Amino acid sequence: MNLGSIDRAAGFIDAVTAPLDEARQAALAAATKSRKLTRIIARQDSRVAFIATLQILALFAVTAVRPLWLFVLGPIVLGVPHLASDARYLVIRQRVSREILFVSIAATLVFVGFQVLELFHVAPAHWTGLEIATAVAWIGASIIAGAREGKNRALLFLLAPLLVLGAFATWHAAMTRVVFAHLHNVVGVVAWIFLFRKNKKTALLPALALVLGVGLLLSGATFAFSANAFRGFGFDLSMIGRSLAPGASPGLAAGAALSFVFLQSVHYAAWLVWIPQDNLPGQGTFTFRMTARSLHADFGIALLAIIALLALALAGTAAFDPHHAVRTYMSLATFHGYFEIAILAYFACRGRRETLGA
């Protein structure tokens, strides 16, 4: 990109973010009138943990009262940005080997291909088993690459239990997909705590809030608030719950649906708020102008335009048929759960490397 294009992009960013930064400054001025609140927000470790706890409580409250709002609007509004954040903080801002990049791109194309075939009802028989087998191979390749790069060949013994577990999961592919649908929503929180959180003790409060929230939703304690809010936008959360908890009682299935909605929303918050905040150098926070310029530096104009177009296309489709839009997004985005696990397995075997600065 030439200097003229860079200057024009910077000028556009400054013009768009100026009013947002004025509002941000006013909010900070109001918040810092409280000494206790100032002590919390002054330090990154306490500030991000405080924000995470507040967001968990707010998402729990919305899940308890209007779960379909989160189930539908979450993917439509935050789905594409959170996929971009996945790539940004697990690849672009990390030192990842070319081998893993190649494997990840190839596996992603395979997964998206499977999902496209499923959407058009032309997927081959037993294709879910092929999907799980591909995921196992992806994770195995990540373990091998990480162990070799970290010079710790003893970690290759992890391949044996992976193959056993993978064979079982492939044989029971349908159930594996159900279990993975639930577990994947916790991956963002795990990545935040173990990869980005410097002071892990401060993550105890949001983690406790998360566990209590899931427990209350599964127990049925909130059904009185959400019983009349299970249908809308072409969805029925009771039916979704039966697919998320096959064979369970109606009450437990409903709880499973609410828990899924809650954890999916927390997953978005982890990738779009907590991880970006904890990845910042120093104790300060970024202005909107700094954030926009950082995005431009990481992705470039072309990729940012593609991301924006995909997000707008999803929102535009949802305006006419939210049911179809959400189902299509959640199907095509299946790959990113395996991507997160594979990359985290690579990091775990390779050993810690400092992330690239903001």
Q: What are the per-10-residue average pLDDT scores of the chain (358 residues)?
A: 53 66 66 68 83 96 95 95 95 90 93 87 78 94 93 91 94 91 93 90 94 95 87 90 91 94 97 91 73 86 93 95 94 93 94 58
Which helix (H) or strand (E) segment holds residue 235: the answer is strand 235-236
> Which pLDDT belongs to residue 10?
58
> Which pLDDT belongs to residue 284?
67
In terms of Cα–Cα distance, which of 265, 261, 286, 215 is closest to 48? 286
Q: What is the reported pTM? A: 0.90
Which residues are paired to 231 by β-bridges?
236
> Which pLDDT belongs to residue 84?
96
> Which pLDDT belongs to residue 25?
72
Which runs of consecutive H residues, i.e. helices, occur in 150-287? 159-171, 173-191, 204-219, 223-226, 237-244, 250-269, 275-278
